[in-house]
Amino acid sequence: MCRLFAVTSDVPLSPMEAVGALNVMKEGHDGSGVGLFMTGLGGELERYKELPILSGIVTLQGLEKVDQYMSERGFTPLYQIPFERSASLPSFTPKREMYLVRVYHTPKDREWDMLTEKERQDRYIEIRLALRELGLRDQSIIVYAFWPDTVMIKEIGDPVEVARYLGLDREGLSARITLAQGRQNTNYSITLYACHPFFVQGYATMTNGENTAFVPIREFLSSRRFPGYVGYESDSEVFAHILHYVHKWLGLNLETYKHVITPLKDESLGVHPDGEELRRLKHVMRPLIIDGPNCVIGCLPDHALLMVQDSKKLRPGICGGRPGRFVFSSEMCGLEYMIPDRDKTRDIQPMGTDMVTVGEDRKEMRLWSQWDRYTLSRAA
């Protein structure tokens, strides 16, 4: 079972902090890979906040393709993080030609200026998918994200060793929100596209456990005709896509996400004050019901963090912290590592019908239950 760790902090933190937390949970993962998602960037990337960042791994040949494609689309490279790779290559980590975290300037033309925010976002995903396609066959381009204020790094190998190898402790690389996953491998050959966290248009999630309802969910999402619902190298990718589908595509409130993936039982709906509305929602969203065992930690475009469990609550997960800094972690030792000086009586281990969120203000954790009153409504 993988280990998950997410931190949201007023002060930007180095990704090494999150990697350190994964390390204390090492009993729960086999060091076969690490995935990092960072947003609310600090340091040198903060000033490019509005501009899209391309995150991925390329070969030199792939880089040429990227350069050519991006220049055809009118995007010009502005800044990139140099990965110096001073430490020795960790065992099991393949030697890569180039890690890419590169800020692009958007096209300086009238057409781009005329685009709405939504149209720009659609362009970003179109470009990410095109690059992915360009490098799919010869593995020359692996791209995780092309989105403003977002850095993603994924690599095979022990999290600490990989982080040292990539020099992630460099000054200037920091983020207010970091999602990190320590991978427990269940496949013999590891596809980087199968590594968490998963990302689509500002929504990122990571999960542990298997998704037994994966195939019907994948088929349903694929049939929604949103170009970003592709990939599915991992059964967990659908959690990010369901979140995006409910919250962005349909534009519904976050509570609906939880009611979609783990609806209340029929008999519970019979006594819930908003049971009829929830029953209709359950009918309509039936193909997106997850059956666990899963703990999902996610991040929304508004920089809120969330943690939900499957309805049987078969995976560990704990949330805790203090104003200004909160951690969502698979295990208590991860939380303890990052925020030992918190009020532990306020830690929350969300159960099957709960959702814990922390907003961008980082003032408090909000515990919401599916038993609370509910109205199907637009996202705020």
Partner 1 sequence: MEPMGSIYIKPSSLSVKDLPWQIYWDKEKCTLCGRCTSVCPVRAIEMGVFRKRTVNVDVNDRSAASNVHTIYYGIKQQTEVARACIGCAMCDLVCPNRAIYPLRSDEMDKLRFHIDQGGEPRKRGGRRNSPGTLLDQIKFTRISMLTDPALDAGRHEFELRTLLGRVLSPEEMVSHMEEHGWSLPVREIYPLIIGSMSFGALSPTMWEGLQMGIAYLNEELGMPVRMVSGEGGVPPRLLRSRFLKYMILQIASGYFGWDEILHAIPEMKEDPCAIEIKYGQGAKPGDGGLLMWYKVNKLISAIRGVPVGVSLPSPPTHQTQYSIEESVAKMIQSMYMAWGFRVPVYPKISATKTTLAVLNNLSRNSFAAGLAVDGEDGGTGAAYDVSLNATGHPIASNIRDAFLTLTRIGKQNELPLIAAGGVGKSGNPASNAAALIMLGAGAVQVGKIVMQASAGCLGSEGDRCNICNVGLCPKGITSQDPRIYRRLNPEHVAERLVDMFVSFDTELKKIVAPLGRSTSLPIGMSDALGIADANAAERLNISYVC
- Residue ranges that bind partner 1, judged by CB under 8 A: 1, 186, 209-210, 212-216, 219-220, 222-225, 245, 250-252, 262-263, 265-266, 280-281, 283-287, 289-293, 311-312, 314, 376-377
- Select 1 or 78, whichever has its Cβ closest to partner 1: 1
Q: How far, in Å, CA of 217 to CA of 222, rounded?
A: 8
Least distance (Å) between residue 289 CB and partner 1: 4
Q: With CA atoms as reference, report the closest residue to 126 among 69, 49, 47, 45.
A: 69
- Select 174 or 234, whichever has its Cβ closest to partner 1: 234
Give 288's DSSP letter: G
Give 348's DSSP letter: B
- Select 118 or 312, whichever has its Cβ closest to partner 1: 312
Report in angstroms the alpha-carbon separations of 73 from 30, 67, 104, 105, 180.
41, 10, 11, 11, 32
Least distance (Å) between residue 36 CB and partner 1: 24
- Select 80 or 184, whichever has its Cβ closest to partner 1: 184
Place of tokens 């300037």: 105
Least distance (Å) between residue 6 CB and partner 1: 22
Place of tokens 């959702």: 355
Least distance (Å) between residue 314 CB and partner 1: 7
Least distance (Å) between residue 216 CB and partner 1: 4
Secondary structure class of 187 (helix, strand, coil): coil
On whether the CB atoms of residues 245 and 340 are closer than 8 A, the answer is: no
Least distance (Å) between residue 248 CB and partner 1: 12
Q: With CA atoms as reference, report the closest residue to 173 among 63, 38, 266.
A: 38
- Select 17 or 235, whichever has its Cβ closest to partner 1: 235
- Select 165 or 226, whichever has its Cβ closest to partner 1: 226
Which amino acid, residue 348?
I
Helices (H) and strands (E) in the chain, counts: 11, 16
Q: With CA atoms as reference, report the closest residue to 146 among 170, 122, 164, 162.
A: 122
Least distance (Å) between residue 238 CB and partner 1: 13
Least distance (Å) between residue 317 CB and partner 1: 16
Secondary structure class of 229 (helix, strand, coil): coil
- Select 59 or 222, whichever has its Cβ closest to partner 1: 222
On whether the CB atoms of residues 318 and 347 are closer than 8 A, the answer is: yes
Q: How far, in Å, CA of 157 to CA of 183, rounded?
A: 9
- Select 59 or 185, whichever has its Cβ closest to partner 1: 185
Residue 343, judged by CB atoms within 10 A of its CB (0-12, 13-18, 19+), counts as: exposed
